[in-house]
Amino acid sequence: MKKQAKIGWSLWGSAEKVRERLMIEERDKMIDVVEEKTRENYKLKDVYKNIKGVYERILNEMGQLIIGQEDVIEQILIAIFTKNHALLEGYPGLGKTLMISTLANVIDLKFKRIQCTPDLMPSDITGTYVVEERDGRKVFKFERGPVFTNILLADEINRATPKTQSALLEAMQERQVSVGTSTFPLDEPFFVLATQNPIEMEGTYPLPEAQLDRFLLKIIVDYPRIEDEERIIDIYTSEEIPKTRKLLNREKLIAIQKLTRMVPISKEVRRYALDIVTKTRPIHDGVAKKYLDYGASPRAAIGLVLAAKAHALINGRNFVSKKDIREMAFPVLRHRLILNFESERKGITPDQVISEVMDEVE
Amino acid sequence: MAKKLNDLILENLDEVVKFSIKIRIFRIILNAIIVSLLFAILLRLFAIHAIISIFFGILYFILSLIYLSLRASLYRNDAIHLIVDRYPSMNERLQAAYDNIKKSNIIVDSLRSDVLKRFKKMYCSSFLDMGPIITRVFLSVILIFILLSINFIHFEGFAANSIPHGENILGDIINSIGFGNKRIDNTRNIEEFVSENFTTRERIEEDSIGGESGGQLPGISEGPIPGMGGGVGYEENPDIFGEPSSARIHGDNINMEIHPEYGGEIEIEDVEVEKRKLNRFEERLMGKSAEIPEQEPPEYSEIIRKYFQSLQNILKEK
């Protein structure tokens, strides 16, 4: 009897010890989580304190090589900070590719470039299985394509065939690549910065509207001013071309991406953004019905608010204002509007329509 | 931390809400006064007791208070609009902070801190819009002045004007009464009044200028000097007397013909001003005391009775 009681006591004691150990482990885990959050908060606070300074330093650094394109750089950064992709359109020789490669250097991220041509295959982008000999046996190994990077420059995307474009756009949307039966997640952060030029349309495959919608911004690269062009000539004809430093690492970039989504927006400003987007739909009388066949999607509304948040953040504001919405409306909406025949005939541009839509909303 | 900042923002907003409610109530009171005064003037114009207008003012006040309490849920939004109106730099900032009151992150917290800093620079007095208040006070003063003026001039109201006032209606009434001499018709063996056809105005004229000095018509045919008699002019050929002149007697303009040969120095002097003043005073007193039957001469009682009967008939017809 005494022996049984002893066993019982020892069992109860060991159960207690187990419980205690579990509680300690649980507590330690919670402490870890809290510490992690606190550390993250400190990091976020630190990044947030210097966000404007970081942005200005990036602009200055890029300004050594890219002259007179501050707006374009700002918009590219906005696309990156909002975890989205951007399409750059401009005439050849305006420095689109240089701009993106310089940005990739300034931000300490992996950068790859694809020159799109009609014979470019999807596997050239996503990667493919190759046969490899291992321990005297031949095995299939997935050879990763250039899409497995942080910043992907798809140069002249409209020269690739629709099949290849689709493979790229799927990767953009899903942030993963499916080859055969396997799925490979892409690295974080991942951005596609595609370029296309509005001339030389022969032998090109213009991106369908549904695929254009996946780019947050369509950035128009325009000719620089005369004085800027003089500086460009000086820089690129001198003995030594300046080199850029790395200013932003992956961790900081992810912190900025988190901060971007934290920027508060008032109901009124949100409504304003929504009004602009809905007014582009030609279902009501007004500017849209006059000029457009199709308007912007809800994805455009999400993109507009997100881009406005990033715009506010890099300009040192802790709230989204109508000014942010107005400034971002052009790059967010211009590739999402489909002009009707009459507008195209008259040579009206999407930017003119957006401008009129904003006037109508106000 | 975030909760504390939120509470502080809400406290500040509530303070603005309280102040704006006070301003609104003050405006409602002013509006109620204006409504009362307007109704008082209207009622006074129609000769109705102006005291009723107070009820309209009270009714407006109560309805406005009910409306104010129904909008209670929107007070904070109203306060935000009020602040934004006075402090444009708070626009979007305050709205964003208020709309994201339930969120908590680094940026929202920094926004709250910003808003609180700006709240410290605000003064409640800046929300007081003096324009509408001054306008209302000024309007009240004008309305009070109008009301006092109406009372001062003893305006009897538009209703009083509904009493018929034809060209010679009182004269007609008096004629119809048969105000004149009593005539005895022996053939029919009856007694009757022979009325003289004259107007009220003529009657006053007749009373004012006596014809005792020998003129054919009293006042017109009088001599060059009142009281001397022997008026030359006669109604048969009035043109020879030149341009007609007029004299104002008892407030009535009376056309007069004055012989040119008498010269231009004719002075019509009302010699009985003092007396008439006394008479008017007496008349006023008599108006009050006329109700005492002893003061009515018995020979006029029939005429007075007929006068009022006729007046009543005419009023009924109208």
CATH topology of domain A69-248: Rossmann fold (3.40.50)
Sign of CA dihedral A329, A334, A340, A344: positive
> Contact at 8 Å (CB) between B41 and B47?
no
Q: Which residues of A touch B110 (CB under 8 A)?
A: 48, 318
Separation CA B305–CA B318 (nearest Å): 20
Separation CA A276–CA A322 (nearest Å): 11
Q: How many CB atoms lie within 10 A of CB B107?
A: 25
Q: How many CB atoms lie within 10 A of CB B286?
A: 12
- The pair of structure tokens assigned to B29 is 């009171």
Chain A residues with a Cβ under 8 Å from any Cβ in chain B: 41, 44-45, 48, 259, 262-269, 313, 318-322
For chain B, the structural domain boundaries read 2-160, 163-198+272-318, 212-270
pLDDT of residue B202: 46
Q: Which residues of A touch B103 (CB under 8 A)?
A: 264
Minimal Cα–Cα distance from B158 to chain A, Å? 53
Q: Which of A267, A269, A319 sits opposite B111 (nearest CB)?
A: A319
CA terminus-to-terminus distance, chain A: 90
Crossing angle of helices B75-86 and B2-45, in 10° steps, is: 90
Which residues of chain A form CATH 3.40.50.300? 69-248
Nearest to A317 by CA among A114, A97, A51: A51
- The pair of structure tokens assigned to B167 is 């060209």
pLDDT of residue A40: 73
Q: Is the bond leading into B132 cis (omega within 30 degrees of zero)?
A: no
Sign of CA dihedral B40, B43, B48, B52: negative
Minimal Cα–Cα distance from B22 to chain A, Å? 27
Separation CA B258–CA A79 (nearest Å): 108
pLDDT of residue A263: 92
DSSP-assigned beta bridge partners for residue B252: B249
- The pair of structure tokens assigned to B16 is 């603005």
Query: Quick check: pTM over 0.90?
Result: no
pLDDT of residue B289: 47
Separation CA B146–CA B39 (nearest Å): 12
Phi-psi region of B251 (alpha: psi -120 to 50; beta: other; left: phi over 0): left
- Own/partner pairs for B113-117, CB < 8 Å, 24+ apart? B113/B5, B114/A318, B115/B9, B115/B90, B116/B5, B116/B8, B116/B9, B116/B12
Which residues of chain A form CATH 1.10.8.80? 263-362
Minimal Cα–Cα distance from A267 to chain B, Å? 6
Q: Which of B93, B96, B108 sits opposite A262 (nearest CB)?
A: B108
Q: In what order do the strands lie in the sheet with A111-115?
A: A111-115, A151-155, A191-196, A86-90, A217-221
pLDDT of residue A309: 93
pLDDT of residue B281: 52
Composition of chain B by helix, strand, coil, percent to 5? 65, 10, 30
Query: Rounded to 10 degrees, what is the CA torsion of B204, B209, B215, B216?
Result: 0
For residue A127, which phi and psi values (nearest 5 degrees)?
Answer: 110, 170
Residue of A nearest to B102 (CA): A264
Q: Which of A268, A318, A322 sits opposite B107 (nearest CB)?
A: A318
Separation CA A314–CA A51 (nearest Å): 6
As a whole number of Å, the CA-based R_g of chain A is 26
Which residues 6+ apart lie within 8 Å of B247 measured at CB? Answer: B253, B254, B256, B268
Q: Which residues of A touch B107 (CB under 8 A)?
A: 48, 259, 262-264, 313, 318
pLDDT tens string, chain A, 362 residues long: the values are 666 777 777 777 777 788 888 888 877 777 777 777 777 777 778 888 888 888 888 888 888 888 888 889 999 999 999 988 999 988 888 888 888 888 888 888 888 888 888 888 888 888 888 888 888 888 888 888 888 988 888 888 888 888 888 888 878 888 888 887 888 888 888 888 888 877 766 778 888 887 888 899 999 988 888 988 888 888 888 888 888 888 888 888 888 999 999 999 998 899 999 999 999 988 877 888 888 888 888 999 999 999 999 999 998 888 999 999 999 999 999 998 888 888 888 888 889 999 999 998 87
Cβ contact, residue pair A266, B110, below 8 Å: no
Q: Which residues of B touch A44 (CB under 8 A)?
A: 106
Q: Which residue has the tokens 């992150």?
A: B105
Separation CA A146–CA A124 (nearest Å): 8
pLDDT of residue B252: 67
Separation CA B314–CA B252 (nearest Å): 26
pLDDT tens string, chain B, 318 residues long: the values are 666 777 787 878 888 888 888 888 888 899 999 988 888 888 887 777 778 888 888 899 899 888 888 877 777 777 787 787 777 778 788 888 888 888 888 888 888 888 888 878 777 777 777 888 888 888 889 888 888 888 777 666 565 555 545 455 666 666 666 555 555 555 655 555 454 554 444 444 444 444 444 444 444 444 444 444 444 444 445 555 555 566 666 666 666 655 555 555 555 555 555 555 655 555 554 544 445 555 556 667 777 778 888 888 877 776
Minimal Cα–Cα distance from A270 to chain B, Å? 10
Cβ contact, residue pair A269, B108, below 8 Å: no
Chain B residues with a Cβ under 8 Å from any Cβ in chain A: 92-93, 95-100, 103, 105-108, 110-111, 114
DSSP reduced 3-state for A145: coil
> Contact at 8 Å (CB) between A327 and A304?
no
Q: Which of A45, A268, A318 sits opposite B95 (nearest CB)?
A: A268
Minimal Cα–Cα distance from B101 to chain A, Å? 10
Residue of B nearest to A317 (CA): B111
- The pair of structure tokens assigned to B37 is 């005064």
Superfamily assignment of A263-362 in CATH? Answer: Magnesium chelatase subunit I, C-Terminal domain (1.10.8.80)
Cα separations in angstroms, B317 against A52, B163, B176, B289: 92, 11, 16, 30
Q: Which of B99, B103, B114 sits opposite A318 (nearest CB)?
A: B114
Question: Is beta strand A292-294 parallel, antiparallel or unpaired with respect to B190-195?
Answer: unpaired
DSSP E strand boundaries for chain B? 180-185, 190-195, 244-249, 252-257
